[in-house]
């Protein structure tokens, strides 16, 4: 085990840096973000990329939550080539057994079990006394260790737990067989100084702390998730739990790309190293954004569209003289390349395949053929095809590959004289249907046509449009969020025709709602 009894000393040589385990929970905690559910195929796609980019531990899901969650964790476990595959489990014994069944085919499987330890959680959530909670910690970790050698135990709401009781629970968990101890900031409450001190205190006071790796898991309610995660390392933790783009419950989790690049860029004060291929960070960000339909804010650190853009005259002048005047890392280091304009309607299949490969896509033959067909159609309608255009059409294909409802055609009559009218043809479960509808504007008419073809009662919570690239022929990217009985889903689509993109986004959201109805069985999960 890594010696975690003392904080690292700044200035260590690169070869002597402490190794930090990157634990990605995009597929579990990230999917708990309202509206961010993923299909079975999308989870496999994300997991494959995380595995390839060097993530050490992939928390693939919460197996007891639903049959769909169990099946996705099990299949990811079978397919993983490098990463440890973890499943989340409550302290209940049947939860643990179900989790063990899901990860048993992994080369390296982990059971991650959790239990609340703060006074407020024990009193109101668990309705248990401290001695009962301590007994549950021992029983759950023991049960998990009987299944696998790699067991992680989490003290849910650890940052609001009384320190004496927290130390007792940690000591008991390690004695019962836990190899990783996670002290999460479940509600995003702590500050960096407090979090560092917490880990330092627990590691010093727990006599068997050297037998486990300590882990941080921070939420971003106060915007401190990344800062707190790095502070935890200073306190002796050597695993960071994070998500791509920082997605997660409420304000989200610590962003994987920010944590990794902070370590990579500031090795002078953060003497650690990770095994992440940083050149794949942008690709991971785009894929997760596509499958969750959660757009990345333009000013997002590391992977936002403006992260390496310079508009100010002073900044531009400095950049022309030397890039390090205003850039502390290179775009290439995180997988950002300058937009290429070489693809067009005369580009062939081989060139398209090569372009996808340079952009980080490895598509099967059927997916490649489908993407190439859509690329040629786009090239016929657009003067210049940018990398962002190709990303949008490929990601859209990945997200919609198994939709039950598919758009075949759409015609809209719009203008100053209403009402506007939309004529739409859909394929629903293999059956083609056509309908006309009127509306207060072309978008309203389009959505009314969908409602006529696929009757439903949902609330449209969000409708947002922005351009993928510049120019009057730019693709419009539309985001739609639908809500039904407390369940929210978000979907995105891009097309040079804003109304087509709107229809596709709405239909994709409907497909996600249908999937939720069939597979969703919400359970409480750790933070």
Beta bridge partners, 476, equal 467, 495
pTM for the structure as a whole:
0.79
Are 103 and 110 spatial neighbours (Cβ–Cβ below 8 Å)? yes
CA 308 – CA 333 distance, rounded (Å)? 12
For residue 86, the surrounding DSSP H or E stretch is strand 84-89
User: Residue 189, CB half-sphere, CA atoms under 13 Å: how many?
Assistant: 13
pLDDT at position 313, please? 54
CA 469 – CA 451 distance, rounded (Å)? 31
CA 75 – CA 509 distance, rounded (Å)? 25
Write the CB contacts of 75 (distance below 8 Å, at least 6 apart in sequence). Answer: 40, 44
Residue whose entry in the numeric block shows the structure tokens 């609001």: 160
For residue 344, the surrounding DSSP H or E stretch is none
pLDDT (tens digit, 0 to 9) for every residue of the chain, 527 residues total?
A: 444 333 334 444 444 579 999 999 999 998 888 777 788 888 999 999 999 999 999 999 999 998 989 999 999 999 999 999 999 999 999 999 999 999 999 999 999 999 999 999 999 999 999 999 999 999 999 999 999 999 999 999 999 999 999 999 999 999 999 999 999 999 999 999 999 999 999 999 999 999 999 999 999 999 999 999 999 999 999 999 999 999 999 999 999 999 999 999 999 999 999 999 999 999 899 889 888 878 888 889 998 877 776 444 544 455 455 566 656 788 888 887 655 545 777 778 888 888 787 776 777 788 888 888 888 888 887 767 777 778 777 776 665 656 789 899 999 999 988 789 999 999 998 899 999 999 999 999 999 999 999 999 899 998 999 887 777 778 888 989 898 887 788 888 888 899 999 999 999 889 888 877 766 544 445 56
Instruction: Classify 11 in phi/psi space as left (phi over 0), alpha (psi -120 to 50) or beta.
Output: left
Residue whose entry in the numeric block shows the structure tokens 């394929």: 427
pLDDT at position 15, please? 46
The sign of the torsion formed by the CA atoms of 298, 303, 309, 314 equals positive
CA 264 – CA 274 distance, rounded (Å)? 8
For residue 359, the surrounding DSSP H or E stretch is none
pLDDT at position 446, please? 96
- Tokens (6 digits) for 305: 């569209």
CA 202 – CA 139 distance, rounded (Å)? 22
pLDDT at position 152, please? 98
Are 39 and 61 spatial neighbours (Cβ–Cβ below 8 Å)? no
Residue whose entry in the numeric block shows the structure tokens 């794949």: 280
Which is it for strands 420-428 and 431-439: parallel, antiparallel or unpaired?
antiparallel
CA 236 – CA 199 distance, rounded (Å)? 6
Q: Is 512 helix (H, G, I), strand (E, B) or coil?
A: helix
Residue whose entry in the numeric block shows the structure tokens 């048993």: 104
């Amino acid at each position: 085990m890594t010696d975690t009894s003392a904080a690292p000393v700044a200035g260590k040589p690169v070869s002597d840096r402490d190794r930090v385990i990157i634990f990605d929970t995009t597929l579990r905690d990230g999917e708990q973000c309202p509206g961010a559910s993923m299909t079975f195929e999308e989870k496999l796609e994300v997991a494959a990329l995380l595995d390839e980019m060097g993530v050490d531990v992939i928390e693939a899901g919460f197996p007891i939550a639903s049959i769909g969650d169990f099946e996705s964790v099990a299949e990811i476990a079978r397919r993983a080539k490098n990463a440890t595959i973890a499943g989340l489990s409550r302290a209940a014994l049947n939860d643990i057994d179900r989790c063990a069944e899901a990860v048993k085919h992994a080369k390296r499987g982990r059971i991650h079990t959790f239990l609340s330890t703060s006074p407020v959680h024990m009193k109101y959530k668990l309705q248990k006394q401290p001695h009962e909670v301590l007994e549950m910690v021992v029983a759950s970790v023991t049960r998990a260790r009987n299944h696998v050698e790699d067991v992680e135990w989490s003290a849910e709401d650890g940052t609001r737990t009384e320190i004496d009781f927290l130390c007792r629970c940690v000591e008991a968990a390690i004695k019962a067989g836990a190899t990783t101890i996670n002290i999460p900031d479940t509600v995003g409450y702590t500050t960096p100084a407090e979090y560092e001190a917490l880990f330092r205190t627990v590691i010093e006071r727990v006599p068997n702390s050297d037998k486990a790796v300590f882990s941080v898991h921070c939420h971003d309610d106060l915007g401190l998730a990344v800062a707190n995660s790095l502070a935890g390392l200073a306190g002796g933790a050597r695993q960071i739990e994070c998500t791509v783009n920082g997605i997660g419950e409420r304000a989200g989790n610590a962003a994987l790309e920010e944590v990794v690049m902070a370590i990579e860029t500031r090795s002078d004060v953060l003497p650690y190293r990770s095994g992440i291929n940083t050149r794949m960070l942008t690709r991971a960000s785009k894929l997760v954004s596509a499958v969750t339909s959660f757009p990345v804010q333009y000013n997002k650190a590391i992977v936002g569209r403006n992260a390496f853009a310079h508009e100010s005259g002073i900044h531009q002048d400095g950049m022309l003289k030397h890039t390090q005047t205003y850039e502390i890392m290179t775009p290439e280091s995180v997988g950002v390349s300058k937009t290429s304009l070489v693809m067009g309607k005369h580009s062939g299949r081989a060139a398209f395949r090569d372009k996808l490969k340079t952009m980080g896509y490895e598509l099967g033959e059927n997916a490649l053929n489908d993407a190439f067909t859509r690329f040629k159609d786009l090239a016929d309608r657009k003067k210049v095809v940018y990398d962002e255009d190709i990303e949008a059409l490929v990601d859209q294909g990945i997200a919609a590959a198994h939709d039950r409802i598919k758009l075949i055609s759409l015609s809209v009559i719009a203008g100053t004289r209403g009402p506007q009218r939309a004529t739409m043809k859909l394929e629903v479960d293999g059956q083609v249907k056509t309908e006309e509808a009127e509306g207060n504007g072309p978008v309203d008419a389009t959505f009314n046509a969908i409602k006529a073809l696929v009757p439903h009662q949902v609330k449209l919570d969000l409708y947002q449009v922005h351009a993928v690239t510049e120019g009057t022929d730019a693709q419009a990217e539309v985001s739609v969020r639908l809500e039904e009985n407390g369940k929210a889903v978000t979907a995105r689509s891009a097309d040079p025709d804003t109304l087509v993109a709107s229809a596709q986004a709405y239909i994709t959201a409907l497909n996600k709602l249908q999937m939720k109805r069939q597979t969703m069985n919400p359970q409480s999960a750790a933070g």
